[in-house]
Structure 1
Amino acid sequence: MTENSAPTTPTLEPWIREILRCPVTHAMLVDGHGPDGAPELHSTDPENPLAYPVRDGIPVLLADDARPLRGA
């Protein structure tokens, strides 16, 4: 990784990716990046999309740590 490239979400095993869901909306999660370029998992819920941080390669799927992907 070069100095200017954004960090990427570490690859999760396919079977883990298949079962991970947003704990709030139960929507599927996809790879994304936060405003600061940090890796996140984004829910695909059309009504209430949320972003969850990935810290040290571990998805943190806590409702209190989620941030909305849309303005309120």
Structure 2
Amino acid sequence: MNKESIINILACPVCKGKVHFNSKNDGVICDKCELYYEIKEEIFILLPESGKPLEPDFL
């Protein structure tokens, strides 16, 4: 499965809302929680404790 097809089934681990790719395509963002989750070596790191608050340049 490629990243583009899997994004449709992923959800934020905190609020269960939809996530979308950030502009660099190296992570996903939940707009509702304003959290960023990394993608490392093509693995989505979607653990509640791994979410990072969005910095102003992400918004």
User: TM-score of the superposition, structure 2-length normalised?
Assistant: 0.74
| Per-residue CA distance 1:28-53 (angstroms, 9 max, x = gap) | 111115xxx681100121xx211001
Q: Any unmatched runs of 5+ in structure 1?
A: 1-10
When residues 19 and 55 of structure 1 are mapped into structure 2, their CA distance, relative to the original with a 3 A threshold, is: same
Which structure has the larger Rg over C-alpha atoms?
1
RMSD: 2.2
More helix by share: 2
When residues 27 and 57 of structure 1 are mapped into structure 2, their CA distance, relative to the original with a 3 A threshold, is: same
Q: CA deviation at 1:58?
A: 1.0
Q: Any unmatched runs of 5+ in structure 2?
A: none
> What does residue 30 of structure 2 align with?
43
User: TM-score of the superposition, structure 1-length normalised?
Assistant: 0.63
When residues 59 and 44 of structure 1 are mapped into structure 2, their CA distance, relative to the original with a 3 A threshold, is: same
Identical positions, percent: 25
> Tell me, what secondary structure is at the counterpart of 1:52?
strand
Trace 1:25-44 onto structure 2 (pairs within 5 A).
25-32=15-22, 39-44=26-31
Distance 1:49 1:19 in 2: 19
Which of 29, 34, 54 aligns to 1:69? It is 54
